[in-house]
C-alpha cells in the first residue's frame, strides 16, 4: 500500500523543488493566470499524487508537470488558446489504452493538435507492455505518467474519448464524447497488447481525419 505524504512533512530539498516549480509556473503564466491559482493548482496537484506515490522525491516534478497541463487547460477555458483542437483520452487507470491513444495522437498530429489523458482511478506507473508495444512503432511513452482528470481539463477538451471508465468518466453537457470499446491491456503480454495497439492507431487516425488534422506518417 502506498504511503501518504503531506506537504508539512517535506524535506528541505522537496520544499525547494516546489518553490522552484512555482516560480517557473508563475513566469510561464504571468498575465494569463493569477498567482493564487498557480499556487493552488501546484499544491492540489501535489496532494493528488502524494496519495498514490511510493517515491516522495518525484512528487514535486509530477506536481509541476500536471499543474502546467491544468493551467494550460484553464487558460483555454478562459479564452486563451491558439485554435488547435484538443482531445482528452480517458480510461480507468491511465496506464494503457489512454496512454497509447495519446501517444499515437501526438505522434501523428505533431503541432497541429493537442492530446491529454487521464484516469478515474489512476495507477502508479505506465503498463510496461503498453510501453513496449508502442516502442515497436517508434513511439516512446515511457516518460509519461498516470494522472487524474480535473474539471478544467475536461472543459478545455474539444473531444473526450472514453475507454472503459463507465459512470466514473466525467460528463459535461455540450461536450462531444466518443466511447471506444477496447480490451484492457492490464496484465497482458506485449503479444496480446499489439492488436489493442493497432486498433487504437486505427481509431486515432480516423479521429484525426474527422478533425481535419493531417496525419504525419
Residue linked to cell 491558439: 82
| Other beta carbons less than 10 A from residue 167's beta carbon | 6
Strand pairing class (176-179; 159-163): parallel
DSSP string, 155-217: HH-SEEEEES-GGGS---TT-EEEE------TT--HHHHHHHHHHHHHHHHHHHHHTT-----
DSSP string, 90-130: EESSSSSHHHHHHHHHHHHHGGGSEEEEEETT--SS--HHH
DSSP label of 54: S
Any catalytic annotation for residue 210? no
Q: Which of 86, 101, 161, 169 is catalytic?
A: 169
Any catalytic annotation for residue 165? yes
76 φψ region: left (φ > 0), alpha (ψ -120 to 50), beta (else): alpha
Q: Which of 63, 114, 165, 193 is catalytic?
A: 165
Per-residue CA distances from 75 to 33, 43, 46, 83, 200 (Å): 7, 18, 20, 12, 29
* Alpha-carbon gap, residue 27 to 24, rounded angstroms: 5
Active site residues: 91, 165, 169
Amino acid at each position: 500500500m502506498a504511503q501518504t505524504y503531506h506537504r508539512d512533512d517535506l524535506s528541505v530539498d522537496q520544499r525547494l523543488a516546489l518553490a522552484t516549480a512555482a516560480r517557473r509556473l508563475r513566469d510561464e503564466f504571468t498575465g494569463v493566470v493569477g498567482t493564487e491559482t498557480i499556487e493552488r493548482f501546484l499544491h492540489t496537484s501535489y496532494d493528488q499524487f502524494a496519495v498514490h506515490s511510493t517515491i516522495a522525491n518525484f512528487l514535486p516534478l509530477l506536481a509541476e508537470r500536471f499543474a502546467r497541463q491544468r493551467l494550460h487547460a484553464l487558460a483555454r477555458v478562459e479564452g486563451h488558446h491558439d485554435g488547435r483542437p484538443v482531445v482528452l483520452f480517458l480510461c480507468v487507470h491511465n496506464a494503457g489504452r489512454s496512454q497509447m491513444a495519446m501517444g499515437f495522437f501526438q505522434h501523428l498530429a505533431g503541432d497541429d493538435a493537442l492530446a491529454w489523458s487521464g484516469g478515474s482511478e489512476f495507477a502508479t506507473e505506465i503498463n510496461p507492455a503498453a510501453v513496449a508495444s508502442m516502442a515497436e512503432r517508434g513511439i516512446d511513452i515511457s516518460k509519461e505518467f498516470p494522472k487524474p482528470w480535473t474539471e478544467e481539463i475536461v472543459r478545455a477538451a474539444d473531444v473526450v474519448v472514453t475507454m472503459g471508465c463507465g459512470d466514473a468518466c466525467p460528463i459535461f453537457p455540450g461536450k462531444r464524447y466518443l466511447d471506444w470499446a477496447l480490451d484492457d491491456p492490464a496484465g497482458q503480454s506485449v503479444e496480446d497488447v499489439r492488436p489493442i495497439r493497432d486498433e487504437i492507431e486505427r481509431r486515432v487516425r480516423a479521429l484525426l481525419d474527422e478533425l481535419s488534422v493531417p496525419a504525419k506518417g
